[in-house]
Every structure is written in C-alpha cells, then in structure tokens.
C-alpha cells in the first residue's frame, strides 16, 4: 500500500506581476518519503517550498491548488537565522515552543520534561557543541552564535513543533561537513519514522543521502531528474609576491563577547591580488574574524590595518576606507531594505561610496547584476520576491560596485547550483585580477577553496591552527 499523501499540488502556478515563476506544477508529498528539489538558482525552488509551507509572499498571485489534510508543516527558510528573535534567549525560546506544541507525559515534572525536549531538539539539530559549553549556554542570545549555529538553532525551533511535514530550504547551508552530516542523519531518521519532507538543496551528498525522489525545477516546470555533478573549478592560483604594505593586516586580533573568547591572537597578512580561503567548523570564529576586519565588530585587543593604515570600526572609517574594504554577509536577506527594488539598493553603493551620478550608477548596477546571472526583470523586484541565492548574488554585486581593494566573502556561494556558483567565483577572480584586490573566501568546501585561492587557513576555537600552502612562504621567497 502506498504511503498516504499529506500535501498535493495540481496545476499550481505562481506569478510575480506578468512574470510566471512556476507553471502547472503537480506534486505529491507522502508520509515517510523525502522529496528533494534541485535546479538553477532562481528557477522557483524556494517559491514552491514557500507555497507548500503556506508562506508565499502576498505580492505573488497563484492559480491551481495545493491541498492538505490538516498537515502540520514545519518550515525552515533559506535565511533561517532571520526566524530567530534576537531579544529572546536560546533556552527560553525553545521552552516556549515545547510548551505550545508538546504534550507532557503523565508523571513527568514540567521542568524536567522541558529540559529534556530542549536538549533533544538541540542535539537533533547538530548543536552538541553548544550544550557542551561550560556555564549556562542556553542563556545566550542568537546573535552570539555563528551563522551556521543560528541555522541549526532555527532547525531546532522547527523540530520542537513535531511537524508531520518538514519543508527545508538549503538546511545545510553554512555548515561544516560534520555538522551537516548530523543534520542529514536527523532528517533521514525523521523521514524513516513517517515524517514527510520537501528539501531544497544544491549539495549532491545531501540529496544522495536523503532523497526518495529528486525533482528538478527549470523554467518554472517540475520534472523527475538525477542530481548533476558540480562543474570543475579552475586550478589553484600562483601566489602573488609580498610587498611592503599588505592590503589587509590583522595584528594579534582578539574579540570577546559576554566573557567568551571568540577570536584570539590572530595574525594575518593578505597581499594585494591574493585570494585566501578560510575554513573551520561552524562556530569556530570565521565570521567573527571577517566582521572585525570589516569594522562591524570592535576588537577587544589587537588592531586592523587597511592598505597600510590602522583603522577602527566602520563608523570611524572614511568614505574611501569603507569603499576599499567590503564585506558580503552570508545572511543576505537581512542586508536589504524590504520595500525598495533590488537594483536601486545595489546602485546606491556607487552613488554613496564613489559619488557616481544616479543614472550611471544604475547602469553599472544592471551590468554587474547581469554578469552574476540576474535578469533585468528579477532585479526590479523587491528583496522578498527573490530567492536566497539571488539575493546573495545581489549582495555581492552591491559590494563589487564599491570597487573594493579588499573583499571579504562569507559563504558567498551558499544556496547556489554548481553552474551559478562557478559564475560567481569566476566573477570574483575577474575582479581580483583586474583591480589587484585582496580576496578572503570563507567556506566549508576545502577542495573548491584550494582550487580557487592561493592558500587556505583553518580556524578552530578562534585561533588559526593550520595553513594549507604547498608553495614557499614570503620569507623563503626573499632568501
């Protein structure tokens, strides 16, 4: 007997104005089965996921139908961290969700039951390292976690609702290999227990381990398809020569928050024209390091030097210094204003930081967005009408319009299909070579970073613990 259908779509169509995003979609989501959606960035995967989860923006119009039989759906959007309330402590938020959605067994104390359920949700979401911290880690706020940890915390929130259907948009984005494997194991276990799942991913290993069925969305239509292998990246780059003034230098940099050491005694020199990869487990300090370099966090010790000059936080940097060092955040949606067209927000960078006339800035923005694979129709939409992958590319275009000498990219290819990710990395390489810019790429794909950078550093517990560089060091070059 076939597994029961929990959600069914028939002839489902979604439009944004006159543009059709999805057309005539037929889909069955069954209990105990995982359906994986693949396809190019912007093809409509997120739109379909939102539709199934009843979270489609009101500005989009639909026809056809999606039916369910009272199914309780748990939805994890692509920028999952945005679902967290920054003013609520981790433990109190989870306990409140358990109280709302859970059922305390007879004979169990309320306090013990809540604690066990919260612990179980965090473990299933792959947050064992948080539970293992000394002191009272559940009294921390979401803003004190890394991007990958916030994604897993948002997943823990979803799991506390005991959903019949999980709708997950890129659930392993920003996670290191070990953490991603924990999340995948949890999801596979839930599906095996009878939960239905719809998962959007570009990660081949995630699809291989989770999928009972793989569907490809292309040109707004859905069809059964295999997962395609990622395209090969370019060979590793030759190391640029060492010059007197590095583009970016961190000297004994340290960052502390609420008594915790997030980054400790980091020394780093990034030469003009150099591409540097930075890897490490989720929560290791990669994002904190980049945000301190960009001036978004104040170091508790040490200093940041940009193009030979010591610089402070962003508010203390000159217009030229702000333009020369740009940071592309992994949670792109939060960096856009919700009511303005994306192209206008991208163009504003050239107006404010390079004093370009508005018309010329808009032309530059359209060209840069087009080079990153975004159409004219797409970039005239508001941010919530684009996918997470499209917004990440728009955020990168915005940074590139400043013509930075130092570009810090935090998981810039997360949520992108292999072909689009290659386009983004090619564009970064073109910018680096043309403007002799220094590039810091934060990611989890060590093989890809090795091919795309001159060297790779590994950070753990806020400290640089390993360097992957087979070529001579600057000292050896000079001897």
**pLDDT bucket at 236, cuts 50 / 70 / 90:** low
Indicate the SS3 state at residue 35: strand
Cα separation, 266 vs 459, in Å, equals 10
Q: How many CB atoms lie within 10 A of CB 419?
A: 14
Task: Round the average pLDDT of the chain to a whole number and report it.
Answer: 86
Q: How many CB atoms lie within 10 A of CB 450?
A: 19
The residue with greater pLDDT, 266 or 149, is 266
pLDDT of the residue at 418: 82
pLDDT at 175 over 60: yes
User: Is residue 458 within 8 Å of residue 176, measured between CB atoms?
Assistant: no
**pLDDT bucket at 344, cuts 50 / 70 / 90:** very high
**pLDDT bucket at 48, cuts 50 / 70 / 90:** very high
Residues 292-341 pLDDT 10s: 999 999 999 999 999 999 999 999 999 999 999 999 987 788 889 988 99
**pLDDT bucket at 270, cuts 50 / 70 / 90:** very high
**pLDDT bucket at 2, cuts 50 / 70 / 90:** low
220-258 CB burial, b ≥16 within 10 A, e <16: bebeeeebeebeebeebbebeeeeeebbbbbbebbbeee
pLDDT of the residue at 114: 92
Mean pLDDT of 376-392: 89
The residue with greater pLDDT, 2 or 255, is 255
Torsion sign, CA atoms 104, 105, 106, 107: negative
pLDDT at 150 over 60: yes
Return the biggest CA–CA distance within the chain. Answer: 75
Cα separation, 35 vs 203, in Å, equals 14
Cα separation, 47 vs 39, in Å, equals 12
Helices (H), 63-133: 90-101, 110-124, 128-131
What residues are paired with 167 via a beta bridge?
Answer: 75, 198
User: Is residue 212 within 8 Å of residue 35, measured between CB atoms?
Assistant: yes
User: Is residue 349 within 8 Å of residue 327, measured between CB atoms?
Assistant: no
Cα separation, 465 vs 451, in Å, equals 21
Cα separation, 31 vs 29, in Å, equals 7
What residues are paired with 459 via a beta bridge?
Answer: 464
**What torsion, rounded to 10 degrees, do the Cα atoms 433, 434, 440, 441 define?**
-70
Tokens of 10: 């028939």
The residue with greater pLDDT, 407 or 140, is 407
pLDDT at 397 over 60: yes
Residues 66-111 pLDDT 10s: 998 788 899 998 877 778 888 899 999 999 999 998 888 888 899 9
Most confidently modeled of 117-131, 222-236, 390-404?
Answer: 390-404
The Cβ-side half-sphere exposure at 246, using a 13 Å CA radius, reads 18
pLDDT of the residue at 168: 93
Cα separation, 441 vs 407, in Å, equals 9
The residue with greater pLDDT, 1 or 355, is 355
Mean pLDDT of 426-435: 92
Cα separation, 259 vs 87, in Å, equals 19
Residues of the chain with pLDDT > 70: what percent? 93
User: Is residue 383 within 8 Å of residue 338, measured between CB atoms?
Assistant: yes
The residue among 99, 398, 141 whose CA lies nearest residue 260 is: 141
**pLDDT bucket at 473, cuts 50 / 70 / 90:** very low
Distance of CA 119 to the CA centre of its chain: 25
Mean pLDDT of 31-54: 90
64-79 CB burial, b ≥16 within 10 A, e <16: bebebeebebbbbbbb
User: What are the backbone dihedrals phi and psi of residue 374, each rounded to the nearest 5 degrees, phi first?
Assistant: -100, 130
The enclosing H or E element of 238 equals none
pLDDT of the residue at 228: 47
Contact residues for 296 (Cβ-Cβ < 8 A; gap 6+): 313, 314, 327
Positions of E strands within 312-423: 325-328, 406-410
User: What are the backbone dihedrals phi and psi of residue 395, each rounded to the nearest 5 degrees, phi first?
Assistant: -65, -40
User: What are the backbone dihedrals phi and psi of residue 247, each rounded to the nearest 5 degrees, phi first?
Assistant: -65, -40
Please tell me the least confidently modeled range out of 25-29, 36-40, 174-178: 174-178
User: What are the backbone dihedrals phi and psi of residue 305, each rounded to the nearest 5 degrees, phi first?
Assistant: -120, 130
pLDDT of the residue at 474: 38
The residue with greater pLDDT, 241 or 123, is 123
Indicate the SS3 state at residue 291: helix
pLDDT at 239 over 80: no
Angle at 146 between CA 262 and CA 114, to 5 degrees: 105
């Amino acid at each position: 007997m076939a597994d029961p259908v929990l959600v069914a779509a028939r002839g489902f169509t979604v439009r944004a104005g006159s543009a059709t995003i999805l057309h005539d979609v037929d889909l069955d989501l069954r209990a105990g089965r995982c359906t994986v959606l693949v396809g190019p960035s912007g093809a409509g995967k997120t739109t379909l996921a939102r539709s199934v989860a009843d979270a489609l923006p009101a500005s989009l119009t639909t026809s056809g139908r999606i039916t369910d039989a009272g199914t309780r759906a748990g939805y994890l959007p692509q920028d999952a961290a945005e679902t967290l309330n920054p003013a609520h402590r981790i433990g109190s938020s989870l306990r409140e969700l358990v109280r709302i959605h859970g059922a305390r067994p007879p004979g169990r104390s309320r306090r013990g039951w809540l604690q066990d359920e919260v612990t179980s949700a965090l473990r299933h979401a792959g947050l064992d390292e948080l539970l293992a911290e000394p002191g009272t880690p559940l009294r921390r706020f979401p803003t004190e976690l890394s991007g990958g940890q916030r994604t897993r915390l948002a997943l823990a929130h979803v799991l506390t609702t005991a959903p019949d259907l999980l709708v997950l948009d890129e659930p392993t984005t920003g996670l290191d290999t070990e953490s991603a494997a924990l999340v995948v194991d949890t999801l596979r276990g839930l599906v095996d227990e009878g939960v239905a799942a719809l998962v959007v991913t570009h990660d081949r290993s995630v699809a291989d381990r989770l999928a009972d069925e793989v569907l490809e969305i292309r040109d707004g239509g859905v069809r059964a398809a295999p997962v395609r292998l990622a395209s090969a990246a370019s060979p590793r780059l030759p190391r640029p020569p060492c010059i007197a003034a590095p583009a970016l230098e961190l000297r004994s940099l340290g960052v502390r928050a609420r008594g915790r050491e997030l980054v400790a005694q980091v020394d780093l020199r990034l030469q003009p024209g150099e591409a540097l990869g930075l890897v490490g487990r989720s929560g290791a300090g990669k994002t904190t390091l980049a945000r301190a370099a960009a001036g978004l966090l104040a170091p508790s010790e040490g200093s940041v030097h940009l193009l030979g000059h010591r610089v402070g936080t962003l508010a203390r940097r000159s217009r030229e210094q702000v333009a020369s060092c740009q940071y592309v955040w992994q949670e792109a949606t939060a960096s856009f204003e919700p009511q303005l067209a994306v192209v206008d927000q991208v163009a504003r960078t050239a107006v404010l930081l390079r004093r370009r006339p508005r018309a010329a800035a808009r032309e530059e923005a359209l060209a840069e967005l087009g080079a990153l694979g975004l159409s004219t129709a797409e970039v005239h939409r508001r941010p919530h009408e684009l996918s997470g992958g499209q917004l990440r590319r728009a955020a990168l275009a915005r940074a590139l319009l400043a013509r930075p000498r130092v570009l810090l990219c935090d998981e810039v290819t997360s949520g992108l299909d292999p072909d689009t990710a290659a386009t983004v990395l090619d564009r970064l390489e073109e910018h680096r070579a043309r403007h002799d810019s220094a590039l810091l790429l934060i990611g989890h794909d060590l093989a890809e970073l090795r091919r795309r950078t001159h060297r790779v550093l590994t950070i753990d517990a806020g400290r640089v613990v390993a360097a992957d560089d087979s070529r001579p060091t600057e000292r050896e070059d000079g001897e």
